Amino acid sequence: MKKILPALFAALMICLLTACGSSTAEKTSAPEKSAEPAAQAAPADKILVAYFSCTGHTKTAALEVAELLNADTFEITPAEPYTPDDLNYNIEDCRANVEQKDSAARPALAKALDNPAQYKTIVIAFPIWWGAEPRIIDTFVESFDLSGKTIVPVCTSGGSDVLNSVMNLRELCKGATVTEGKRLGITSKDDVKAWLDSLNL
């Protein structure tokens, strides 16, 4: 009997340890429960008016569009603000001229757009520089995923139209639909509204 007791005790310990081990494995292989209930996806059908403006004309026009569309707004701000000298296109090598001559120039943004996924449509408003969109607009459209979105280009200018910019943006906005564009600041609010309505955004 003295010999049997230690053997029984050892067998009991093995059983207990095996049972313990298997319960630990079950715990680790069980699917993890999220601490929080799944966050509700944000609606992805909102409209944004994003604008770049150095001397205020485009900002005024963009805010009018935002009001007509009941849209959010976002100011496209350069990390390094443009000084009056930077914008003086009579000086051949002023910053704006140098950037416009270089199709690869991408001036840095001061801030990124928060949660772009919530916008289905983005109106992009800019001044015309040397016949086209300022390069910072190119930085902006390349800064997040535009696939599936509708991009609406609008500009202000001293007389040039928006056509070159529309062509450029169609190249740059990968996966997006770029609508026809419009030069603003020359027609009435009613005309702008009629044009926006015609886009069926």
Ligand X SMILES: Cc1cc2nc3c(=O)[nH]c(=O)nc-3n(C[C@H](O)[C@H](O)[C@H](O)COP(=O)(O)O)c2cc1C
Answer yes or no whether residue 78 interacts with ligand X by CB under 6 A.
no
Binding flag, residue 136, ligand X (CB under 6 A):
no
Min dist CB 194 to ligand X, Å, is 22
Cα angle for residues 45, 49, 50 (degrees, 5° grid): 120
Number of residues that bind ligand X (CB under 6 A): 20
Of 68 and 87, CB closest to ligand X: 87
As given in the structure block, the two tokens for residue 29 are: 């292989």
Q: Please identify, using beta-carbon distances, which residue of 107 and 127 lies nearer to ligand X.
A: 127
- Coil, strand or helix at 178: strand
Candidate list 157, 165, 168, 179; residue touching ligand X; CB under 6 A: 157
Distance of CA 36 to the CA centre of its chain: 27
| Cα–Cα distances in angstroms (integers) from residue 53 to residues 69, 76, 118, 127, in the given order | 20, 8, 24, 7
The residue within the footprint of ligand X, chosen from 127, 137, 146, 150 (CB under 6 A), is 127
By CB under 6 A, which span of 2-10, 11-19, 121-129, 188-196 interacts with ligand X?
A: 121-129
| Residue 177, phi-psi category: left (phi > 0), alpha (psi -120 to 50), beta (remainder) | beta
CB of 149 or CB of 183, closer to ligand X:
183
65 binds ligand X (CB under 6 A): no
Please tell me whether residue 98 binds ligand X under the rule CB under 6 A. Answer: no
Q: Is 75 in the site for ligand X (CB under 6 A)?
A: no
Measured CA to CA, the distance from residue 42 to residue 53 in angstroms comes to 29
- Residue 41 near residue 102, CB atoms below 8 Å: no
Nearer to ligand X, 176 or 184 (CB): 184
Residue 46 C-beta: closest distance to ligand X, Å: 24
Q: Does 89 bind ligand X (CB under 6 A)?
A: yes
CA distance 155 to 187: 12
Closest CA to 53 of 140, 121, 116: 140
Note the residues at the interface with ligand X (CB under 6 A): 53-59, 87, 89, 96, 127-131, 156-160
